[in-house]
Structure 1
Amino acid sequence: MVAKIPKPEENSIDVLNLVLGERVKYKKFYGRITQDLAARYQLYDDQKGCPSGMPPLVLRNYVDTDVDALARKKTLIGLYDPDEGKYPYNELEKLRKKNKLLACPVCGELGRPRTLDHCLPKTTYPEFAINLLNLVPACDWCQGEKLADYKNAAGTRAFLHPYYDEVNRPLYSIKLQPPYLTPVISFEILDDLPVELQALVTSHLDGINFWERFKDYFESSYQNIISIVSDTRTAGMITVATAIESAYSLQAGKGINSWDAVVYRSLLEDADVMDFLQNGVLSEFP
């Protein structure tokens, strides 16, 4: 995750109560579990989505048979797919389609995310299938890479949480190796981050297959930068540094760790690369 975003406006427990109050089927089950569900939602918020000390609810405690427990797991998961006009249809659509984000908060790729990721997977934690605090806007790729992964060997979160983690700061950079016209890049997490945050950022980026995706993106992005630099030098109105600083300011407004922001910031921090962009030969051909 590369950006902290505001929590959903709606109170998750209030939405839960509206959902359960509207359901007609399985009233006995909901009557037994509602109070504990609300308590679990509060625990989720208190623990900032960390699964440590928060194992999934044992649904067998709220039904009469093992068969019923399996069936009610499907029922809880099914709350995530409500008919239009029923709770929480509008709340989910708002998170998916009206989140006002300009980049995926999970990876930083530009573009408004249109899917929702369950931070604690609903297949493992069906009780959180419609917990708004457990639902984060994400791009299709992140959702597909992450799937049902959620914890590390210590039982704590393996991924950053966009509603809780303080990550609106540079998290990583790239390093360019010559030849700078067609550089080879490497990636490093910033060493001024707190140790625990460094480990979580590492785990998070590994879990979404970030590096392979970013390398592919960089190749096309950098060629566009070379073109912009060439035009800037030809026009002679501003320096290359000023042009890149302006581009960085624009992209950082979409997210301090959005992909273009990372690229421009990394260029600005490398004196050798900036010297090449200002003075070097920008084409392999005379």
Structure 2
Amino acid sequence: MKYLGMPPYDDLEKIRELSKKDNLNSFPLLAANLGLIENEYEHYEKVNGDVTLLNPPLILHEDLKNGLKADYSRVLKALSYIAEIRDELSPDVCPMCGSFGTGQADHFVPKTTYPEFSLFARNLVPACKCNQTKLASYKGAHGERILHPYFDKSLDQRILYLEFSGDKASPYLAVELTLPYKTNADAKYHVSSIVAKGNVFNWASKEWSKIQIRPSATIFQKENGGYTTAEIRRMLEKAFLNSDRDYGTPNNWKSMFYYGLALKADYHEYIRDCVNQAQP
């Protein structure tokens, strides 16, 4: 999860340009409906991407709906901004779930529901495969919604972390919200709909196994062992702060992992023993 700010494109100028392209599937119907679509673009921005405040989907001709959705997948110079969003806006951390890497452009509100936003840059977010689990889960039944990387500045704050509990040899993992966000319906919905459905638990389990079995492959690389519990705690704190900086967000998986461990004093002793015993 990461706040990105606005993508560097003028969407109104872009859609006007696209409406004149006779090699697009949406031609010429896009031009005929340009005013309606421009109004929806402006409204989307006016409500700061809050999907619960969007107008109902436009009633468009099926040929235009299908054309807009098909154009999204076209490899054309006029649509090169889609690849730029996918590959360049957040190349090393997914702003939707906090994983490492993107590789896909996710329609924040699905193009199947809102085809008018198929080519709208502010509705296209760089994402990893979590967009395949998100699907149409962009708002709940009680006014809650997912968080928007272009509009929700709260994504700059530490919203979530990994909670470790149970048997230390094989702990139970859960995504927990930090105190200011525990009662935030949008943050809770975002975590349950996207983050917790992804691969974060599998990734974190592997990281935990490294600490147990091969700690030299993690942040614990001190020669000759001899770590104290206090040193372990300080290293965990340093690790999540470094990850915050490296990825430009405290809501990446590494920060979530090390922040969660930093909170668990009893785990510090267990980690100390694992690391010291593994030293030659």
- Return the letter of the residue paired with 2:124: L
TM-score normalised by length of structure 1: 0.82
Question: 1:272 deviation in Å?
Answer: 2.0
Q: Pick closer, same or farther for the CA change 1:212–1:75 going to 2, 3 Å.
A: closer
Number of residue pairs the alignment of both structures matches: 267
Question: 1:24 deviation in Å?
Answer: 6.3
Q: Deviations over 1:136-187 (max 9, x none)?
A: 00002x1110113322214x46311111112211112333235434333344
Aligned with 2:192 (options 206, 213, 228): 206
What SS is found at the alignment partner of 1:21? coil
Question: 1:72 deviation in Å?
Answer: 1.9
The structure with more radius of gyration = 1
* Cα distance in 2 for residues equivalent to 1:277 and 1:178: 15
Partner of 1:261: 255
Question: 1:23 deviation in Å?
Answer: 2.9
Partner of 1:62: none
Aligned with 1:109 (options 95, 99, 102): 99
What SS is found at the alignment partner of 2:53? coil
Deviates most, 114-123 or 167-176: 167-176
What SS is found at the alignment partner of 2:180? coil
Could you tell me which runs of 5 or more consecutive residues in structure 1 were left unpaired when the two chains were aligned. Answer: 60-68
What SS is found at the alignment partner of 2:224? helix
Partner of 1:18: 17
Q: Deviations over 1:27-81 (max 9, x none)?
A: 663343111211110101111222435100111xxxxxxxxx2222111222212
* Cα distance in 1 for residues equivalent to 2:254 and 2:87: 23
Q: Pick closer, same or farther for the CA change 1:262–1:28 going to 2, 3 Å.
A: closer
Q: Pick closer, same or farther for the CA change 1:76–1:5 going to 2, 3 Å.
A: same
Q: Deviations over 1:218-256 (max 9, x none)?
A: 211112234147643734589323432332232112121
Contact 1:114–1:138 (CA<8 Å) still a contact in 2?
yes
Question: What is the identity percentage for the equivalent residue pairs of Structure 1 and Structure 2?
Answer: 22
* Cα distance in 1 for residues equivalent to 2:43 and 2:133: 27
Partner of 2:176: 188
Contact 2:177–2:188 (CA<8 Å) still a contact in 1?
yes
Contact 2:68–2:118 (CA<8 Å) still a contact in 1?
yes
Q: Deviations over 1:188-246 (max 9, x none)?
A: 22232274xx2112212222262563222221111223414764373458932343233
Q: Pick closer, same or farther for the CA change 1:231–1:220 going to 2, 3 Å.
A: same
Contact 1:119–1:136 (CA<8 Å) still a contact in 2?
yes
2:141 corresponds to 1:153: yes
2:107 corresponds to 1:118: yes
Aligned with 2:123 (options 119, 134, 144): 134
Partner of 1:64: none
Partner of 2:155: 167
TM-score normalised by length of structure 2: 0.84
Partner of 1:66: none
Contact 2:160–2:175 (CA<8 Å) still a contact in 1?
yes
What SS is found at the alignment partner of 2:164? strand
Question: 1:135 deviation in Å?
Answer: 0.3
Partner of 1:232: 222
- After superposition, the CA RMSD in angstroms is 2.7
What SS is found at the alignment partner of 1:232? coil
Could you tell me which runs of 5 or more consecutive residues in structure 2 were left unpaired when the two chains were aligned. Answer: none
What SS is found at the alignment partner of 1:116? strand
